[in-house]
C-alpha cells in the first residue's frame, strides 16, 4: 500500500485490462472484493483520499462511535500482486479520450475501465458560528473519533449535545449519546423525522421512541446561529430560544462528489447517471454508491439511494460487468426485476429496517402499536411496495425474500400466509395513525 506513489505490482498489461477505482467507501471496497473473487488478472488501482483503505461505514454512527469497537471493519483487507492500493491521494482530473486519471500529486493513471465510487460530502451548516470547534459532521472515521471525544466531554461536564437534522445519522448519534448519559436535543426544520425515507406514521413512532428515552425533539425548528469564543457554547433557535450546548452534530445530508465525473464529461443529474450495469454515459466509465443515480422501479423514479446495501450491490454489479467485458467469467443473467431497496438502523435496543419504497404508497397496513416494536406494510394499487419493521426482523426477512422473487405481491397473499395486519390507513387524505 502506498501513501504517495503507487507500488509496482508486477502485473503487465498483457495480464488483462486495467481497472482504476476511485473512492474509499463501501462501493469501492465491494468492487475490489468482487474482482478478487473473480480472480481478475489485470492491473487494479484503487485511489482514495482517506487515510485508510475501504472500510464499513455503518459502525461509525453505532459501535465505533460508542467505543464498543475500536478497530475499523475492512471490506477488502490485504493487497494482491496485481493491485496498487493508494491512500491519501485524490483523483482531481481526467481525460476520457485518453483514458487517464490525474491525481493531486500530478500522477497519471491510465485505465481501460474506470469506476467512480466517490461518494458524497456532508452538507455544512450555513449558520453563523458553524466554524466553531465542537461542531461536527459524521462521514469518515476521523469524524467519528472527534465526535466520540466531544460526547465524552459532554458527559463529563454535564453539557447538552445538539443534533441538527432529524436524519438517520443524527438519530443514531442521539441514541448513542443518550446511552452515554448525555442530554440531547434534536432540531428538525421539517414537521417529521426522516422525511425523505419514512411515512408519517412510522416517523411518529420513531419520534415517540426518542422522547421516551429523554431526547428533546423540536420539529419545525431551525438553528439561527451558534455562539461561543473558540468552542460552541450555545445555539439560538428560530423560535427565539437560547440553548446551552457543549457540542453540535449536523446531519443534514450529503452532496454527491460529481466534480471528477463532470470533468470527464459523463452525464450528471442528481448524481452520475448509470444503467442497470452501473455504466455511465461513457461506456468504459462506471459509477456506484452514493454518487450514482439509477432508475428504480420501486420508487418509479431515477434517483440516488444512500444506503450500505445499494453501495455494496452496485459495486459488485460494476465489477462483475467489467470482468465479463474483459473475458473473465461470464455475465450472470440479468433478473427480470430488481430487488427492493433495503436498509437498517440500530437505535437504543431497537432495530429498524426499511424495505422497498414506503414513501411511494397509497395505503398502509400496520400492526398494533407496542413498546416492543411494530410492523408497517405499504401498498400501491393493492400491491406491496414496501415495509418498515421495528424489532420485526423475521417478517422483514421474509418480505424481502418474497419481494426479491416476486415484486407484484398482492395484499391477499399476505393474508393467506398469516401476515394479516388489522389496521389499514388509506392515504387519499392525510395519513393518520
- Within this chain, do residues 140 and 246 fall inside the same structural domain, yes or no? yes
CATH number at residue 18: 3.50.50.60
H/E segment holding residue 226: strand 223-227
Which of 192, 219, 250 is a domain's end point?
Answer: 250
Cell numbers standing for residue 278: 452501473
Q: Which domain range does residue 403 map to? A: 349-426
- Within this chain, do residues 112 and 139 fall inside the same structural domain, yes or no? no
Cross-strand bridge partners of residue 216:
185
Which of 196, 225, 250 is a domain's end point?
Answer: 250
Indicate the number of domains in the chain.
Answer: 3
- Within this chain, do residues 206 and 311 fall inside the same structural domain, yes or no? no
Interacting residues of 361 by C-beta distance below 8 A, sequence separation 6+: 199, 378, 379, 380, 385, 386, 427
Per-10-residue mean pLDDT of the chain, 433 residues long, equals 38 67 97 96 97 94 92 95 96 98 97 98 95 96 96 97 97 97 97 94 93 98 96 97 97 97 98 97 98 96 97 97 86 73 95 96 84 87 94 93 91 76 54 42
pTM: predicted TM-score of the whole model, two decimal places: 0.92
Cell numbers standing for residue 139: 462521514
- Within this chain, do residues 57 and 150 fall inside the same structural domain, yes or no? no
CATH number at residue 413: 3.30.390.30
Q: Could you count the other beta carbons within 10 Å of the beta carbon of residue 336?
A: 6
Q: What confidence score (pLDDT) does residue 337 get? A: 76
Which of 250, 276, 301 is a domain's end point?
Answer: 250
What is the DSSP secondary structure assignment for residue 2, as one 8-state letter? B
What is the DSSP secondary structure assignment for residue 422, as one 8-state letter? S
Taken in order 227, 179, 52, 94, the sign of the CA dihedral is negative
Cross-strand bridge partners of residue 296:
301
Q: Is residue 128 part of a domain?
A: no
- Within this chain, do residues 360 and 421 fall inside the same structural domain, yes or no? yes
Q: Is residue 100 part of a domain?
A: yes
Q: Is residue 80 part of a domain?
A: yes
Q: What CA–CA distance (Å, rounded) separates 77 from 236?
A: 45
Amino acid at each position: 500500500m502506498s501513501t504517495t506513489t503507487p507500488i509496482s505490482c508486477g502485473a503487465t498489461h498483457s495480464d488483462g485490462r486495467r481497472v482504476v477505482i476511485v473512492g474509499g467507501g463501501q462501493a469501492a471496497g465491494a468492487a475490489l472484493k468482487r474482482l478478487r473473487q473473480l480472480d481478475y488478472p489485470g492491473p487494479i488501482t484503487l485511489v482514495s483520499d482517506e487515510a485508510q483503505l475501504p472500510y464499513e461505514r455503518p459502525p461509525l454512527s453505532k459501535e465505533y462511535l460508542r467505543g464498543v469497537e475500536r478497530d475499523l471493519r475492512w471490506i477488502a483487507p490485504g493487497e494482491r500482486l496485481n493491485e496498487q492500493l493508494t491512500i491519501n491521494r485524490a483523483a482531481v482530473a481526467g481525460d476520457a479520450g485518453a483514458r487517464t486519471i490525474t491525481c493531486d500529486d500530478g500522477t497519471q493513471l491510465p485505465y481501460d475501465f474506470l469506476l467512480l465510487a466517490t461518494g458524497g460530502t456532508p452538507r455544512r451548516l450555513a449558520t453563523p458560528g458553524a466554524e466553531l470547534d465542537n461542531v461536527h459532521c459524521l462521514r469518515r472515521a476521523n469524524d467519528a473519533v472527534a465526535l466520540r471525544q466531544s460526547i465524552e466531554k459532554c458527559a463529563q461536564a454535564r453539557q447538552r449535545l445538539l443534533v441538527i437534522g432529524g436524519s438517520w445519522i443524527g438519530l443514531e448519534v442521539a441514541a448513542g449519546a443518550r446511552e452515554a448519559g448525555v442530554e440531547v436535543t434534536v432540531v428538525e426544520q421539517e414537521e417529521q423525522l426522516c422525511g425523505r425515507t419514512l411515512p408519517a406514521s412510522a416517523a411518529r413512532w420513531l419520534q415517540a421512541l426518542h422522547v421516551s428515552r429523554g431526547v428533546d425533539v423540536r420539529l419545525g425548528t431551525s438553528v439561527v446561529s451558534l455562539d461561543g469564543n473558540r468552542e460552541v457554547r450555545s445555539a439560538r433557535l428560530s423560535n427565539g430560544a437560547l440553548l446551552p450546548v457543549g457540542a453540535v452534530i449536523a446531519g443534514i445530508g450529503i452532496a454527491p462528489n460529481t466534480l471528477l465525473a463532470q470533468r470527464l464529461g459523463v452525464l450528471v443529474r442528481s448524481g452520475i447517471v448509470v444503467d442497470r450495469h452501473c455504466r455511465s454515459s461513457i461506456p468504459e466509465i462506471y459509477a456506484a454508491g452514493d454518487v450514482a443515480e439509477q432508475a428504480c422501479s420501486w420508487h418509479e423514479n431515477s434517483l440516488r439511494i444512500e444506503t450500505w446495501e445499494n453501495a455494496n450491490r452496485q459495486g459488485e454489479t460494476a465489477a462483475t460487468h467489467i470482468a465479463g467485458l474483459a473475458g473473465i467469467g461470464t455475465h450472470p443473467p440479468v433478473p427480470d426485476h430488481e430487488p427492493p431497496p433495503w436498509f437498517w438502523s440500530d437505535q437504543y435496543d431497537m432495530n429498524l429496517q426499511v424495505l422497498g419504497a414506503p414513501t411511494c404508497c397509497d395505503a398502509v397496513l400496520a400492526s398494533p402499536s407496542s413498546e416492543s416494536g411494530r410492523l408497517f406494510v405499504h401498498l400501491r394499487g393493492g400491491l406491496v411496495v414496501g415495509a418498515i419493521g421495528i424489532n420485526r426482523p423475521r417478517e422483514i426477512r421474509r418480505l424481502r425474500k418474497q419481494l426479491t422473487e416476486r415484486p407484484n405481491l398482492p395484499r391477499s397473499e399476505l393474508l393467506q400466509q398469516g401476515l394479516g395486519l388489522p389496521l389499514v390507513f388509506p392515504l387519499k387524505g392525510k395519513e393518520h395513525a
